């Protein structure tokens, strides 16, 4: 069952996709129409996303990850956004810690 994005995931997407380029702008416009449709099995905050394709157009052609950045916080190496067919499909956080990251770090800690 699809559920709304958490405030932390929404803030992370907005921060990662900040900028005037056409791909970032198109993907940012999809955020209000994105829903969480799956989660990582390790218990971290990584989420699979589905966008209402009738509500918003796809982003222009681009490479994956569509955006990525590291964190300035220890044990939180980075986060990335992946797309499929021009639509948001995955917001993934990764770390060097053995423990899953269970909350989104504040976007101000992103090192873009």
- Render pLDDT for 25-82 as a digit per residue (tens, 0 to 9): 999 999 999 999 999 999 999 999 999 999 999 999 999 999 999 999 876 789 999 9
Domain housing 100: 3-111
* pTM, full prediction: 0.94
- The pairs formed by 70-74 with CB atoms below 8 angstroms and a separation of 24 or more are 70/110, 70/111, 71/105, 71/109, 71/110, 71/111, 72/109, 72/110, 72/111, 73/105, 73/109
What is the Cβ-side half-sphere exposure of residue 3, based on CA atoms within 13 angstroms?
8
Closest CA to 23 of 101, 81, 77, 91: 81
Total structural domains in the chain? 1
């Amino acid at each position: 069952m699809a559920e709304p994005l958490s405030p932390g995931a929404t803030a992370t997407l907005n921060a990662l996709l900040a900028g005037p380029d056409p791909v970032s702008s198109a993907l940012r416009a999809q955020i209000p129409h994105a829903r969480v449709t799956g989660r990582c099995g390790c218990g971290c905050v990584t989420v699979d996303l589905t966008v209402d394709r009738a509500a918003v157009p796809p982003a222009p052609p681009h490479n994956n990850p569509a955006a990525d950045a590291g964190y300035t916080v220890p044990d939180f190496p980075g986060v990335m956004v992946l797309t499929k067919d021009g639509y948001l499909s995955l917001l993934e956080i990764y770390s060097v810690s053995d423990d899953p990251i269970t909350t989104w770090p504040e976007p101000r800690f992103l090192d873009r």
